[in-house]
């Protein structure tokens, strides 16, 4: 899919977004609220047939952000969905694993490190933290005390 | 020199343990075994079980999850055994010092199991194969 066509198709999900940012020719950000992220992901993956690269989780003070990165391999353009999770007490977002199995482990990892609940994830077990790591301590949250001090036993 | 020491120095079989490395040190360890450096001509060979090993090549910081296994692997090696700490991470936790998942440094973990352990440090991020070979030679001539 060429760049022009991609941009035209992206406008089909405009009503689900709160903004589109084009930082460069090959980098497009689609900003949306958490509840719309599932639909936008599905659109990029199933309707536009873009390749899912990876997801990122960020603790950005007033909200959590999940960034889903998709690549349009024909042009090398990377399209990132930036989903904002405003609820800091019980952060949750709909899982994309049911239609995109490649996202299973990265969602588990984000769940481990940031404590974000991926609803309808088929297998949200611990992935990378130690077996004896305390429940409910999320090391990549900014407020986490273990973050800088280390947890020497 | 005891018989055990004498035989240890003849051809050192090594067991490679990754306890939380970024994988770069591990690539260099494997590189050391490829035909370019070919340490097998000195009898240095990678083995699949710590019970067959004369030396451990340890890479990585020593994460909470991995140090339990590291202690067990060290207990299972035939003594005397040389522990080579490969890379800045293994030598003293490197850039991950103070990280939330770091239980190292690795030398302290090994000394908890065996206070008289023979530990050799090969710093670098990652160390070159030449540095590792030089480390092996220095240790073997010091024993
Ligand atoms: S010393 Fe450097 S190359 Fe080796 S594991 Fe640590 S960070 Fe990676």
Total structural domains within chain B:
1
Q: How close, in Å, is residue A151 to chain B by CA atoms?
A: 6
Enumerate the β-bridge partners of residue B121.
Answer: B85
| Strands of chain A, DSSP E | 19-24, 27-33, 51-60, 63-72, 77-85, 92-94, 117-119
Residue B61 has a CB neighbour count (10 Å cut-off) of: 27
Looking at the partner chain, which of A129, A147, A152 has a beta carbon nearest the beta carbon of B103?
A152
The domain spanning residue B45 has which CATH number?
3.40.50.12280
Total structural domains within chain A:
1
Instruction: Tell me which of B65, B67, B93, B100 to substitute to probe the interface with A (most A C-beta atoms closer than 10 Å).
Output: B100
| Chain A residues with CB-CB distance to B100 below 8 A | 139, 144, 146-147, 150-151
- Per residue in A89-143, pLDDT tens? 899 999 999 999 999 999 999 999 999 999 999 999 999 998 888 888 899 988 8
Q: What angle do CA A131, B28, B103 make, to 5 degrees?
A: 30
Residue range(s) defining the domain that contains residue A117: 3-151
Q: Cα–Cα distance between A128 and A110 in angstroms, integer?
A: 10
Instruction: Write down the residue that tokens 């939380």 correspond to.
Output: B20
Share above pLDDT 70 across residues of chain B, in percent, rounded to a whole number: 99
The domain spanning residue A26 has which CATH number?
3.30.460.80
- Per residue in A26-84, pLDDT tens? 999 999 999 999 999 999 999 999 999 999 999 998 999 999 999 999 999 999 999 99
Contacts of B78 (CB under 8 A, 6+ apart): B51, B52, B53, B54
Pocket-forming residues, ligand 1, beta carbon under 6 Å:
B 21-22, 24-25, 59-60, 87-89, 94, 125-126
């Amino acid at each position: 899919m060429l760049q022009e066509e991609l941009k035209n198709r992206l406008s089909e999900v405009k009503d689900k977004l709160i903004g589109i940012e084009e930082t460069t020719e090959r980098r497009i950000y689609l900003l949306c609220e958490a509840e719309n992220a599932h639909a936008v992901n599905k659109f990029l993956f199933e309707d536009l047939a873009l390749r899912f690269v990876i997801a990122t989780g960020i603790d950005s003070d007033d909200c959590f952000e999940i960034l889903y990165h998709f690549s349009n391999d024909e042009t090398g353009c990377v399209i990132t969905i930036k989903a904002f999770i405003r609820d800091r007490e019980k952060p949750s977002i709909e899982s994309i694993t049911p239609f995109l199995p490649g996202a299973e482990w990265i969602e588990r990892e984000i769940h481990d490190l940031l404590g974000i609940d991926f609803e309808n994830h088929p297998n949200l077990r611990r992935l990378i933290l130690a077996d004896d790591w305390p429940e409910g301590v999320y090391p990549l949250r900014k407020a986490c005390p273990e973050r800088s001090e280390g947890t020497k036993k | 020199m005891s018989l055990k020491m004498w035989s240890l120095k003849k051809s050192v079989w090594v067991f490679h343990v990754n306890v939380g490395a970024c994988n770069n040190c591990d690539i260099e360890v494997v590189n050391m075994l490829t035909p370019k450096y070919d340490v097998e001509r000195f009898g240095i060979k990678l083995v699949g079980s710590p019970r067959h090993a004369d030396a451990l090549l340890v890479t990585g910081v020593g994460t909470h999850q991995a140090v339990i296994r590291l202690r067990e692997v060290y207990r299972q090696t035939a003594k005397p055994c040389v522990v080579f700490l490969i890379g800045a991470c293994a030598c003293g936790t490197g850039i991950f010092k103070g990280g939330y998942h770091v239980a190292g440094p690795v030398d302290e973990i090994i000394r908890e199991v065996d206070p008289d352990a023979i530990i050799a440090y090969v710093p670098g991020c990652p160390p070159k194969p030449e540095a590792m070979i030089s480390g092996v030679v220095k240790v073997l001539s010091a024993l």
